């Protein structure tokens, strides 16, 4: 399973990329606004830090303008993955950008029907938002199960399932059990995944016992 990080915060991206566990990055207009930085500059910087796909979202809503924006974003770096919303214009733009050879992430997916359309439009990634579905009292992970089942039934579908709007490590574990291709994690969730109190307790005990030996490895 690939792990992307879901942030436009350069410091966080640098820190987490150093773990060697980050396969890509996703941003959205809200995350860019939160960073307070210039969008184009941020995308270029992220692409230089992480070699994997870096999702940069268009903000136009009509096909012609979306395509112009997407083509501009695609020129910023070879690992830019243009993000388009799951609308008729977004899918039309997805198909055109895929024809250019550009990676496309179709975002704001909330149903299996939408995921099926994105696959037909040739999306590189489909981003179902599990946390936002949970927030309205529906089953976010149930949607992932449906999409994985549908995509698996058609070997010609190459669209990768990118689990988005992840709120906690349990979402990640559930997605991995279902065979989802990618999860995009807020930095806090990736950090949480390292933690277990028994790891901390066990390490403290090992180090205390080691100190008693008076030895040093180096
Ligand atoms: C990533 O591609 C999505 O934009 C992001 O995961 C949405 O997360 P949120 O629901 O926490 O805003």
What pLDDT sits at residue 132? Answer: 98
Choose among 170, 154, 151, 153: nearest CA to 162.
Answer: 151
In the prediction, which pLDDT does 109 show? Answer: 98
Three-state secondary structure string covering the chain: CEEEEECCCHHHHHHHHCCCCCCEEECCHHHHHHHCCCHHHHHHHHHHHCCCCEEEECCCCCHHHHHHHHHHHHCCCCCEEEEEECCHHHHHHHHHHHHHCCEEEEEEECCHHHHHHHHHCCCCEEEEEHHHHHHCCCCHHHHHHHHHHHHHHCCCCCCEEEEECCCCHHHHHHHHHCCCCEEEECHHHHHHHHCCHHHHHHHHHHHHHHHHHCCCCC
CA 199 to CA 157: how far, in whole Å? 41
- Give residue ranges with CB within 6 A of ligand 1: 6, 26, 28, 107, 127, 129, 131-132, 164-165, 184
What is the pLDDT averaged over residues 200-208? 98
Q: How far is the CA of 58 from the centre of ligand 1 (A)?
A: 15
pLDDT at 66: 98
List, in order, residues 6 or more apart from 80 with CB less than 8 Å away: 43, 47, 53, 54, 56, 73, 74, 102, 103
Contact 47, 80 (CB under 8 A): yes
Q: What is the pLDDT of residues 22-79, one digit of tens each?
A: 999 999 999 999 999 999 999 999 999 999 999 999 999 999 999 999 999 999 999 9
Atom 8 (ligand 1) nearest CA: 165
Closest CA to 56 of 137, 71, 18: 71
**Per-residue confidence band for 121, with pLDDT thresholds at 50, 70 and 90:** very high
- Which ligand 1 atom lies nearest to the CA of residue 132? 10
Nearest CA-CA partner of 2 in 179, 129, 126, 174: 179
Nearest CA to ligand 1 atom 6: 165
Domains of the chain: 2-213 (3.20.20.70)
In the reported structure, the alpha carbon of residue 172 is separated from the centroid of ligand 1 by a whole-number distance in angstroms of: 14
- pLDDT confidence band for 13 (50 / 70 / 90): very high
């Amino acid at each position: 399973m690939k792990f992307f990080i879901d942030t436009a915060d350069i410091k966080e991206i640098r820190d987490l990329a150093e773990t060697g566990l980050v396969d890509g990055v996703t941003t959205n207009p809200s995350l860019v606004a939160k960073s307070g930085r210039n969008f184009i500059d941020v995308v270029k910087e992220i692409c230089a830090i992480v070699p994997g796909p870096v999702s940069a979202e268009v903000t136009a809503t009509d096909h012609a303008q979306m395509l112009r924006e997407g083509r501009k974003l695609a020129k910023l770096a070879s690992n830019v993955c243009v993000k388009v919303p799951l609308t008729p214009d977004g899918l039309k733009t997805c198909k055109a950008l895929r024809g250019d050879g550009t990676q496309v992430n179709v975002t704001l997916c909330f149903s299996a029907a939408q995921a099926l359309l994105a696959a037909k439009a040739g999306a590189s990634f489909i981003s179902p938002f599990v946390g936002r579905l949970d927030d309205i009292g529906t089953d976010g992970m149930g949607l992932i199960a449906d999409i994985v089942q549908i995509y698996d039934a058609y070997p010609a579908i190459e669209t990768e399932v990118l689990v988005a709007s992840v709120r906690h490590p349990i979402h990640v574990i559930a997605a991995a059990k279902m065979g989802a291709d990618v999860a995009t994690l807020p930095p806090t969730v990736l950090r949480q995944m390292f933690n277990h109190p028994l790891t901390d307790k066990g390490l403290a005990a090992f180090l205390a016992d080691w100190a008693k030996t008076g030895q040093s490895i180096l």
